[in-house]
Amino acid sequence: MQHPKEVADLKRFDIPPVLTGFIDGRPVPESASAEIVTCIAPSDETELLSLHEADANEVDAAVSAARRAFDSGPWPRMSVDERNRILRQIRDKIIEHADELAYLESVNVGLPIRNVKTVHIPRAARNFEFFAEVASQATGEVYTQTRPYLSYVTREPVGVGGLIGPWNYPLGLGTMKIASCIAFGNTCVIKPSEYAPLSLTRAMELIHETDIPPGVINLVNGRGHVTGEALTGHPGVDVVSFTGGTVTARAIMRSASAHLKPVAFELGGKSANIVTASADLERALDGSLSTIYLDNGQQCLAGSRILVERSIADEFIQKFVERSRKVRIGDPLSPDTELGPLCYEAHLEKVLSYVGIAQQEGAELLTGGRRSDAFERGFYIEPTAVMAPSNSARVCQEEIFGPFAAFLVFDDLDEAIEIANDSNFGLVAYIWSEDLPTVMRASQGIRAGTIWVNTPTTRDLRAPFGGYKDSGIGRDSARDCMEFFTEAKTTTIPTDTFPITDFGKAQ
């Protein structure tokens, strides 16, 4: 069912035909010599906008602006209360423009508007409020045990952050990087994905309607191997915070190593979603559908390997397939849509290619596996599920990053834990059981950064989020971000006089 009124209402917001960067408090002028990257709308394959790509010179200008703002600007020297006031102004701007930002995100990425409105935009606003609170509550350490000394530890901003975001949650994750970086007095340059630059670029204009000083937050637009590489390799960048894929992370680590830059990596996953016979099966079914189909399945934390205990497997999988066939595919701007189009064509092709890969390896296609024929245009795919032949199949080992579930059956919990851990990734895992010992054994045995018990994805920004193994380096949380974006400094002072070795005094 379409909702033309709601959709028409959202379409009142403008989409700029050309996007550039934002440096030193101002949009970068359009340049006749810039490489043009065309952004395509995933819902109808029309041209959405042209991106003027930042080359190495433009990246240098952005880093220089951030450097000046850090080395001699007011931001790192302001009182924390003053910085917090401005971070809260940014939060308010996002809330004030929530509908517009939701529209831009949905049109650009294909994310169903209802989740963008209820989760992503509030999260973007909350990121600034949360890190304002964290910075204002931060404390140091004092050591008095080594007499006569008093040693105290303060944390100072690390400098200029090079921030690289993925296309799946541009605003929610991009603002998390910006807020966690600048709250502690740093400045930054952010590069969104070339596929999804719209919401963050608009947010830059809104952010600069507040009292934020110029140069604190700069944005460069362009492709990863051009703009991204120039940013992560720039000597003026002190730390790199990256969310994206494992292959890109390795390239970034190589370029960051030239200047020994610390890196924080939030990467992909192939997370196990374990449904035991002791689960509340209705809730487990709702949760399993949600973890793989929410946000078009383009989630790092998708429960994409669904492990079901043998005694309930036939019934559970049958119900999962029935519900998958009823998922409402449609225009991402329609409030009824549950599954929108995938973000871009090459990604759609990649996701669909796993149907053939699965079948060649002996998987059974349970449902979906093709473009939705309800749409003449747009990157729409049917919710897809396969019964995998074994956990070593590529559909169980490689991140597909779409609405694509791979089922496996297990006989006991030890086997389920073994399968969950038989992966290069270790981002999250889900366990569904009403039996406490089962839950505890799974949560202790699975090697992943987050274990969600009897719940689909939820996030407490205070608690660490990040991955074991190929799923990342470092964590996001109040404390982890504070440690990453600050340097610890120890100052040692004697509290009394004491003899100092008297070189050269002897007669």
244 contacts ligand NAP (rule: CB under 6 A): yes
Distance from the first to the final alpha carbon of the chain = 99
What is the residue type of 101? L
473 contacts ligand NAP (rule: CB under 6 A): no
- Tell me whether residue 225 or residue 479 sits nearer to ligand NAP (CB atom): 225
Residue 300 annotated as catalytic: yes
Of the candidates 353, 361, 346, the residue with the CA atom closest to the CA atom of residue 384 = 353
228 contacts ligand NAP (rule: CB under 6 A): yes
Tokens 């999260």, residue located: 123
Q: Which of 21, 76, 159, 166 binds ligand NAP (CB under 6 A)?
A: 166
Give the C-alpha separation, 185 to 206, whole Å. Answer: 20
- b (16+ CB within 10 A) / e for 55-93: beebbbbbbbbbbbbbeebebbeeeeeebbebbbebbeb
Q: How far is the CB of 343 from ligand NAP (least distance, A)?
A: 9
Q: How far is the CB of 296 from ligand NAP (least distance, A)?
A: 12
Q: Which of 112, 224, 403, 456 binds ligand NAP (CB under 6 A)?
A: 224
Of the candidates 111, 99, 125, 90, the residue with the CA atom closest to the CA atom of residue 14 = 99
Angle at 46 between CA 14 and CA 30, to 5 degrees: 55
- Tell me whether residue 70 or residue 465 sits nearer to ligand NAP (CB atom): 465
Tokens 């010179």, residue located: 57
Find the catalytic residue in 53, 129, 194, 266.
266
Q: Can you tell me whether residue 307 is helix, strand or coil?
A: strand
Of the candidates 329, 310, 316, 330, the residue with the CA atom closest to the CA atom of residue 288 = 316
Give the C-alpha separation, 466 to 301, whole Å. Answer: 10
What is the residue type of 48? L
Give the C-alpha separation, 249 to 311, whole Å. Answer: 41
Find the catalytic residue in 39, 188, 300, 396.
300
Closest residue to ligand NAP: CB criterion: 224
- Measured in degrees and rounded to the nearest 5, phi and psi for residue 384 equal -125, 140
Q: Which of 22, 70, 380, 401 binds ligand NAP (CB under 6 A)?
A: 401
Q: Which of 117, 191, 202, 305 binds ligand NAP (CB under 6 A)?
A: 191
Kind of pairing between the strands at 217-219 and 187-191:
parallel
- Tell me whether residue 195 or residue 404 sits nearer to ligand NAP (CB atom): 195
110 contacts ligand NAP (rule: CB under 6 A): no
- Tell me whether residue 408 or residue 427 sits nearer to ligand NAP (CB atom): 427
Q: How far is the CB of 165 from ligand NAP (least distance, A)?
A: 6
Q: How far is the CB of 335 from ligand NAP (least distance, A)?
A: 24
- Tell me whether residue 83 or residue 234 sits nearer to ligand NAP (CB atom): 234
CA atoms within 13 A on the CB side of 270: 22
Burial degree of 109 (CB within 10 A; 0-12, 13-18, 19+) = buried
Q: Which of 64, 232, 241, 391 binds ligand NAP (CB under 6 A)?
A: 232
Residue 266 annotated as catalytic: yes
Using the contact rule CB under 6 A, the part of the chain among 118-126, 237-245, 386-394, 434-442 near ligand NAP is: 237-245
Q: How far is the CB of 435 from ligand NAP (least distance, A)?
A: 30
300 contacts ligand NAP (rule: CB under 6 A): yes
Give the C-alpha separation, 169 to 108, whole Å. Answer: 11
225 contacts ligand NAP (rule: CB under 6 A): yes
For residue 490, what are the contacts with CB-CB under 8 A and spacing of at least 6? 151, 152, 153
Q: Which of 84, 186, 241, 248 binds ligand NAP (CB under 6 A)?
A: 248
165 contacts ligand NAP (rule: CB under 6 A): yes
Using the contact rule CB under 6 A, the part of the chain among 41-49, 167-175, 203-211, 274-282 near ligand NAP is: 167-175
53 contacts ligand NAP (rule: CB under 6 A): no
Q: How far is the CB of 452 from ligand NAP (least distance, A)?
A: 14
Q: Which of 70, 128, 195, 484 binds ligand NAP (CB under 6 A)?
A: 195
Per DSSP, 212 falls in state P
Q: How far is the CB of 471 from ligand NAP (least distance, A)?
A: 6
Of the candidates 333, 421, 383, the residue with the CA atom closest to the CA atom of residue 100 = 333
Cβ count within 10 A of residue 161: 28
Q: How far is the CB of 237 from ligand NAP (least distance, A)?
A: 11
Residue positions annotated with a catalytic role: 266, 300
Which positions touch ligand NAP (CB under 6 A)? 164-168, 173, 191, 193-195, 223-225, 228-229, 232, 243-245, 248, 251-252, 266-269, 300, 399, 401, 427, 472
